[in-house]
Amino acid sequence: MKILMILLLPFYLYATTIALQILGSGGPEFSMRASSSYLIWVDGKARVMVDMGGGSFLRFTQSKAEIKDLKVIALTHLHIDHSADLPLFMKAGFFTERKEKLPILGTSSKGDFPDIYTFLTRFFGAEGVYAYMQDILTPKSESFQIEGILRDQKHREMQLGVIKIGSVGVHHGPVPSLAYAFEIAGKKIVFTGDTSGDGHALVELAKGADYLVAHHAISQHAGKLARQLHMTPAKIGQIAKAAGVKHLVLSHRMKRTYGKENESEALIRAYYKGDIIWAEDMMKIQLTRE
Ligand SMILES: [Zn+2]
């Protein structure tokens, strides 16, 4: 045993550490919770940011994450409570030393919703509302820069250094929406984004995930319209079970679900027997040893 410990010690010391942090656990209401936003930390640096809802700018600063360390921002969809703080990050980035282009993943267009390129251009293009910041979209500029990368509704995969990113379209009423899977050093973290949970794409993407961050925005008694936008607790349980995820994080907590946590948990437990965690702002979950 002692010899084994000594042999394994170098791997133990240099093993990649990964943490999942909730920046915003709330929805679009007036609330003490920030709106949807998450970080994945790798070896003590925030490398992945998912969604940038209202309040995420302040929470990001509180988390001690730094924009220079980010490898990618992934937007699940362009509802306000998932994207509204983006301009704040862009302006603050301008005051940092970051020169590496920051990729921002987002959806294709549908109905009232622009694709990711149009979304960024309407903010920062020459005709945009923040045209004074147009240098961030200009490749020749010396200052802080971003780059939109479109992920359509098909299952897509890309590799960014050690980070493997899977994405697939999920049903969220009329809104083009994506779920994302991040695989780093043998760990897999999946974000459902907002979705009704209809279809099989999400289960496929989430297969064997260490953590599934699911949005618990409605109770089981929600009306038809809300069910076309969000998963019921039973639906979350079915998806977590079918995907065989090890831990389930319930986020996007809205006021209509407050006080119904036990009821929801029982409905989820009817299908899913694994670990359940209720998200709180700033909660940081270590996937591996610190
Ligand atoms: Zn939404």
| 172-192 pLDDT tens trace | 999 999 999 999 999 999 999
CA 290 – ligand 1 centroid, Å: 33
Asked if residue 175 belongs to a domain, the reply is yes
CA 217 – ligand 1 centroid, Å: 10
* Mean pLDDT estimate for the chain: 94
Asked if residue 6 belongs to a domain, the reply is no
Q: How does pLDDT run across 22-61, given as a tens digit for each residue?
A: 999 999 999 999 999 999 999 999 999 999 999 999 999 9
CA 78 – ligand 1 centroid, Å: 7
Structure tokens at 198: 């209809």
Q: Is the confidence at residue 129, as pLDDT, over 50?
A: yes
Mean pLDDT, residues 149-168 taken together:
97
Mean pLDDT, residues 126-144 taken together:
91
Q: What is the C-alpha to C-alpha distance for residues 57 and 106, in angstroms, rounded to an integer?
A: 19
Asked if residue 79 belongs to a domain, the reply is yes
Q: How does pLDDT run across 64-82, given as a tens digit for each residue?
A: 999 999 999 999 999 999 9
Asked if residue 13 belongs to a domain, the reply is no
Mean pLDDT, residues 4-27 taken together:
78
Asked if residue 288 belongs to a domain, the reply is no
Q: Which helix (H) or strand (E) holds 164?
A: strand 163-170
CA 25 – ligand 1 centroid, Å: 13
Domain containing 116 equals: 18-280
CA 173 – ligand 1 centroid, Å: 9
CA 97 – ligand 1 centroid, Å: 33
CA 172 – ligand 1 centroid, Å: 7
Asked if residue 75 belongs to a domain, the reply is yes
Q: Is the confidence at residue 224, as pLDDT, over 60?
A: yes
> Which of 141, 65, 160, 50 is CA-nearest to residue 99?
141
Q: What is the C-alpha to C-alpha distance for residues 13 and 289, in angstroms, rounded to an integer?
A: 10
> Which of 234, 244, 230, 238 is CA-nearest to residue 190?
244
Q: Is the confidence at residue 285, as pLDDT, over 80?
A: yes
Mean pLDDT, residues 252-257 taken together:
97
> Which of 231, 167, 160 is CA-nearest to residue 195?
231
Mean pLDDT, residues 202-225 taken together:
97
212-215 — which CB contacts under 8 Å span 24+ positions?
A: 212/239, 212/240, 212/243, 212/245, 212/247, 212/248, 212/249, 213/20, 213/22, 213/38, 213/189, 213/249, 213/251, 213/279, 214/239, 214/240, 214/248, 214/249, 214/250, 214/251, 215/36, 215/250, 215/251, 215/252
CA 183 – ligand 1 centroid, Å: 24
Mean pLDDT, residues 224-234 taken together:
97
pTM (two decimals): 0.94
CA 98 – ligand 1 centroid, Å: 30
CA 84 – ligand 1 centroid, Å: 12
Our count of domains for the chain comes to 1
CA 162 – ligand 1 centroid, Å: 29
CA 164 – ligand 1 centroid, Å: 25
DSSP state string for 76-96: S---HHHHTTHHHHHHHHHTS
Asked if residue 287 belongs to a domain, the reply is no
Q: What is the CATH number of the domain that holds 229?
A: 3.60.15.10
CA 252 – ligand 1 centroid, Å: 10
Asked if residue 260 belongs to a domain, the reply is yes
> Cβ distance 181 to 203 under 8 Å?
no
Q: Is the confidence at residue 9, as pLDDT, over 70?
A: no
CA 191 – ligand 1 centroid, Å: 13
CA 57 – ligand 1 centroid, Å: 19
